[in-house]
Structure 1
Amino acid sequence: MKKVLSTLGLTAAVGLILPQVAVAKETIVIGEVSWDASIAIENILKVIMEENFDVDVEIIAADQAAIWSAMDKGKGSVDIHPDIWSSSQTEPLAKFVAKGSRESVKVNQHPYLGTDGFYIPGYIQDEYNVKSVYDLKKPEIAKLFDSDGDGLGEYWPGAPGWTGVKINQVKAKSYGFDEYFEPVVVSDSIIKAQLKTAYRKKEGILFYYWTPEWLHYAYDLRKLEEPKFTGYAGDSKKQHEDYNPEGCYKFNDTENWLEDSDITCNIPETEIFIGYSVSLEERAPKVAEFLSKVSLDAGYVSEWVYKIASENEDPIDMAEEWVKNNSKIVETWLP
């Protein structure tokens, strides 16, 4: 008996002096798309996940196609898309999320709602009565938006890599104002600088934008009227709940997307999701459960965006402060 006890004691002592082997944390990777709401949401998610789960969270910049591809593969190169606008991401949602598809990506149960469209400054609308997208077909109106003197107005359809860039060019063609306007595809930060200059000089500027977003706090922006949405057309939308073979929204992301598409309406309020790779359910099940339960609100998102984009708060500092001050909300999202 003494020998057995001595052996046990020696084993315990050896265990105390052997180096402890650290278990590597799971790394969760969020794909950053280039608009402010994405930046705000990804930092909120990062803070919550690192504080409540034994994981490291990395954020890398990528275009949406690359993010979807990585989530589909499930290898961990990108695990999360923080801000999926369903109106402009119908194709990947149908390919990777919808029942009967690859089902390699899931989205949170409760999306928040947003709107988008073409915006102009209030002073242009008030002085020149520009209220509809069809008013842009008038040459005298297009001149108000010609900043380089080449005889064509300019409009911003979105930033490089955004699916909306194609969609908004299709709209310009379908509404007929592409004859008098040319698209200028630059970064989100550049268009915001141009907007600031346009307001200072009281000049015209036409650009695609959305709500929620801090610009609507800082400027008097007016959304141009478009015909009402009557449904998605095209064979790829046959399984969609809003499918209508005679619908006003036909977008085909083909090689000849501009010629093959026709969009003559607005989009109703858009559901905006957080997407995550199904592989997280095995690699980090608590994280996957958390992502499924996150329930954002347009009010939260507007507040976050205003702080980082208008008040120049560091995104991670903003996120840490909000999470600390809103623990009751965060608790409802946790497993």
Structure 2
Amino acid sequence: MKMKLSVVALAVALGFVGPAMALEKIKVASSNWPSLQAMSSVLKEITEQYFGASAEVVNSTLPIILASMDKGEIDILPELWSPNHDSMINTYVKEKQTVKLASMTFQVLSGMCTARHTQEKFGVKSIYDLSRPEIADVFKTAAGGKPKLWVGPAGWSSSKTEFIRARDYGYADLFELTTIEESLAIVDLEQAIRSDTPWIGICYTPHPTFSRKEVVMLDEPPHDASKWKVVQPDQNPNWLAMSSVTTAWAPISVNIAYAKELETKDPKLVALLNNMKIDPAEVAQWIDAVGTKKIAPDVFAKDWVAKNDAKILGWMAGRPQ
């Protein structure tokens, strides 16, 4: 792919473009959440248009992605969340040191949410309310059985943490903890808002649906690191028994990660990764475009890159925006 003519002169002057660069294919990881899908395609587009390199988006699960980065088979993971992914950060970033963290692109707040009309009608204000059988019954449906509480998709590390939280806050036995994909959970929540029916599940900002005024986060004790012990299944098969959580999530930091080998393979691209900054409001727009409006990530990325030339040039020149 040819680089954009508007940036060729600057790229050459700054030394971003070289004959060897085009020989290397840059592999960018993606998975099953919309902000990552958008970011991976944006980075692919930037790599090809501004650096003259061939790039490919590789879809997989996070454990496989990190293991592949450890081997140098994947170059970039646009989103690595802490503390959600701390077990893998400890393994690959701190212990093996084969993966490095670049810039912190944005922060996330996570908690348990319900629809505002549910809170106002039934008084569901605290996470401890979920341990009361009469409150759990509020979320039952005509289909019968236990009421459903969404903890996130099966492949998310945070979903495992929500199983721990449900047990330790005392509501695990009162609900069916479901692990459907986020897109399906969003459909359920939107339907609940339209029909004034109860809904309960994990949520996070800057996701545009969870940030709506019709959705409220339940109260819980402020984060206390001494009361947050999370062991993930990749660390120990007895992860659930070994874990204990009786506090809210800490603010979640989202970093770009890259294989250490990329520092040799393409140091100029690494420099750009360390200069990237994304406003949370913009992340919400990305999630809305790819997750809600179902715009294909590659289509979205081409449009976004075309409209953000100055911002990208700033990242390339070492001026985070």
3-state SS, counterpart of residue 266 of structure 1? coil
Q: Whose Rg is larger?
A: 1
**TM-score normalized with structure 1 length:** 0.82
Does 2:141 correspond to 1:147?
yes
Q: Aligned equivalents of 1:24 and 1:270: distance in 2?
A: 36
The CA deviation string for residues 240-264 of structure 1, in whole angstroms up to 9 with x for no partner, is xxxxxxx110112221111111111
Gaps of 5+ in 2: 1-19
1:319 aligned onto 2:313:
no
Residue among 227, 233, 237 paired with 1:248: 227
Measure the CA separation in 1 of the matches of 2:291 and 2:302.
16
Q: Which residue among 89, 97, 102 is the counterpart of 1:93?
A: 89
Aligned position for 2:17: none
CA contact (8 A) 2:205 2:211 kept: no
Whether the 8 Å CA contact 1:26–1:54 is kept in 2: the answer is no
* Alpha-carbon shift at residue 217 of structure 1 (Å): 5.5
Alpha-carbon distance between aligned partners in 2 of 1:148 and 1:180, rounded to the nearest angstrom: 16
The aligned runs of 1:274-313 (5 Å cut-off) are 274-313=256-295
Task: Find 1:112's aligned residue among 98, 106, 112.
Answer: 106
Aligned equivalents of 2:21, 2:303: Cα separation in 1: 30
Instruction: Give the whole-Å Cα distance in 2 for the aligned partners of 1:116 and 1:296.
Output: 18
Contact 1:154 1:184 in 2 (8 A): yes
Distance 2:91 2:110 in 1: 23
Aligned to 1:216: 210
Secondary structure at the counterpart of residue 112 of structure 1:
strand
Structure 1 residue 160, shift from structure 2 partner: 2.0
On the 8 A contact 1:41/1:301 being kept in 2, the answer is no
State the partner residue of 1:54: 52
Match of 1:36 among 10, 28, 34: 34
1:82 alignment partner in structure 2: 78
Deviations 1:118-170 (A, max 9, x none): 11111100111101110001111111222364442211111121111110000
Amino acid at match of 1:46: K
Matched, 1:331 2:313: yes
> Retained in 2: the 8 A contact 1:32–1:39?
yes
Relative to structure 1, the CA distance from residue 113 to residue 53 in structure 2 (aligned partners, 3 Å threshold; closer, same or farther) is same
Contact 2:35 2:286 in 1 (8 A): yes
The letter of the residue matching 2:222 is K
Q: Output the amino acid matched with 2:28.
A: I
Q: 1:37/1:24 Cα in 2 relative to 1: closer, same or farther (>3 Å)?
A: closer
CA-CA distance at 1:107 after TM superposition: 1.4
- Which of 223, 246, 258 in structure 2 is aligned with 1:229? 223
> What is the aligned-residue RMSD (CA, Å)?
2.0
**Count of residues in Structure 1 that have an aligned counterpart in Structure 2:** 295
Tell me by how many angstroms 1:50 deviates.
1.0
Instruction: Point out where structure 1 has 5 or more consecutive residues left out of the alignment.
Output: 1-21, 232-246
SS in 1 for 2:104: coil
Q: Name whichever of 314-323 and 325-334 sits farther off.
A: 314-323
2:254 aligned counterpart, secondary structure: strand
Identity of aligned residues (%): 27
